[in-house]
A = this chain, B = another copy of it.
Amino acid sequence: MASSIHDLARHLNISIGTVSRALNGRADVNADTRKRVLEAARTLNYSPNQSGRSLRQGATHSIAFMLQPHPGDQQYGEPFFIPFLIGLQARLAESGLDLIVVMGAPGDYQQERLRRVVETRRADAVLLAWTRREDERIDYLTQAGFPFATLGRSRSGAESYPSLDLDFEKAGADAVDRLVARGHRRIAAVRPSLDLNFGYLFLAGYRKALRRHGIEVDPELIASGFINEAGGYEVTPQVMRSKDPPTAIIFNNDAMALGGCKALAEMGIRPGHDMAVTVIVDTPLCRYFSPALTAFRPALEPMGQRLAEMLLASIPAFAGPEGPRIIREVWPLELVARDSD
C-alpha cells in the first residue's frame, strides 16, 4: 500500500541512502541520479513517512497550540481565534509544520495536557494563549527547556521567549482620550476578574489616561467579572450604583460588553444615547450588535502569521542561517468608530 524508501531504491536499483540524500537536496548526489529519484518518487507516489522522519530526526514537525478555556467561559474566545488560527496555520504550513490544537475542560488550566504534549514529545514547540500575569505554564516550559511562544505577555519567564501581544495599555488610554474629547468625565471600566495579563494592561492604560486628563480614578467605576456575557451582565450594574454614575463604559471584552448592554437595556439605558460604550477587542459581534459597538480591532490573521514566524525564528532547527532569535512584539489596536459612543 504505502510505498517506502526501500521500494523506491529497489525500483531504481540504488541504495536507500542515496535516495534519501537525493530527496533531501543534499549536495553529494549526482544531478542525473537526483532527477531520476525525484521522478520515480512522483510516479511511485512516494512521500516519506512522517513517523520515521520524526523518530530519526527527533523532531515531530508540528506545533501545539494550547487553546486555554477559562472557568466560566464556554466560548473559548470564540470568534477571536479563528482568523488567528488561519494566519498561524498558513505560515506553519509554509515550513512544513502541522498545527495541533489542544483544548481542555474549562478550569483545569491545562497544565496536565501541556505536560503530556511536552513529555511525549508530541510537538516541537507549543504556543500559549490567554497569558496570565503570573503564568505557571511559562515557568514550566522554560524550566523544561521546551521551545514555546506566547500570544500575550506575562511577568513569568524573564522574557526569554518570543511573544506577540496587543497594546491593550494604549487602547485603554485611547478609549479614554476619545471619550474625554467627547465630553465625558465619568468613565467606567469593566474587565475580567482573572489575572489575565491583558486585563492589567488595559486598566493601566485607563488609569494613566484619566490622570493625564486630571480626572480622579474612582474605584466605584471599575468592575471585574467573568470574561463572558454572564460576567458582563452581572457586574455592569455595580458601576451604575455609584452616586455619580458613569456616562461612558469601556468594556475589555466583547462578550462582557454584550452582557453589559443587556443589563443596561434592562435599566432603560440605551447605549449610544444614554451611555457611551466602547469595547477593547473588536469581533464580528460588535459590528452586528445594535447599536454597532465602537471597538478596537486587532489584525488577527497577520498576528497569527507573525507569531508563527517568531516562534520558528526562535528554534535553532528552523531559524535561518543567522541563528535563533527571540523576538517580542506589541501590535496596535485600531479604533473602529461605530454607533455606541
Q: Which residues of A pack against B, CB within 8 Å?
A: 1-2, 45, 47-52, 54-55, 58, 60, 62, 75-76, 78-79, 81-83, 85-86, 89-90, 93, 98-105, 113, 116, 119-122, 145, 258, 284-285, 288-290
Contacts and interface: CB of A to CB of B under 8 A. Distances in A.
A78 B79 contact: yes
B101 A89 contact: yes
A258 B288 contact: yes
4 closest cross-chain pairs (CB), A and B: A290-B290, A51-B54, A51-B55, A47-B119
Nearest to A46: B119
A1 B50 contact: no
Contact of A86 (B48, B55, B103): B103
18 contacts: A1-B145, A48-B120, A51-B55, A51-B58, A54-B55, A62-B100, A75-B83, A78-B82, A79-B79, A82-B82, A85-B103, A90-B103, A93-B113, A98-B100, A98-B122, A284-B285, A285-B285, A285-B288
A227 to B, nearest CB: 15
Contacts of A290: 288-290
Given A49-B121, A288-B258, A100 B99 contact: yes
B98 A99 contact: no
Given A54-B54, A62-B100, A75-B82, 8 more contacts: A48-B120, A51-B60, A78-B284, A79-B82, A79-B284, A81-B82, A89-B102, A100-B101
Contacts of A82: 75-76, 78-79, 81-82
A297 B129 CA distance: 29
A48 B120 CA distance: 6
Given A82-B76, A82-B78, A82-B82, A47 B285 contact: no
B47 A116 contact: yes
A9 to B, nearest CB: 18
A103 B89 contact: yes
A282 B79 CA distance: 15
Contact of A60 (B50, B99, B101): B50
A76 B87 CA distance: 12
A100 B98 CA distance: 7
A79 B75 CA distance: 10
B2 A50 contact: no
A240 to B, nearest CB: 21
Nearest to A122: B50
Nearest to A81: B82
A308 to B, nearest CB: 13
A273 to B, nearest CB: 14
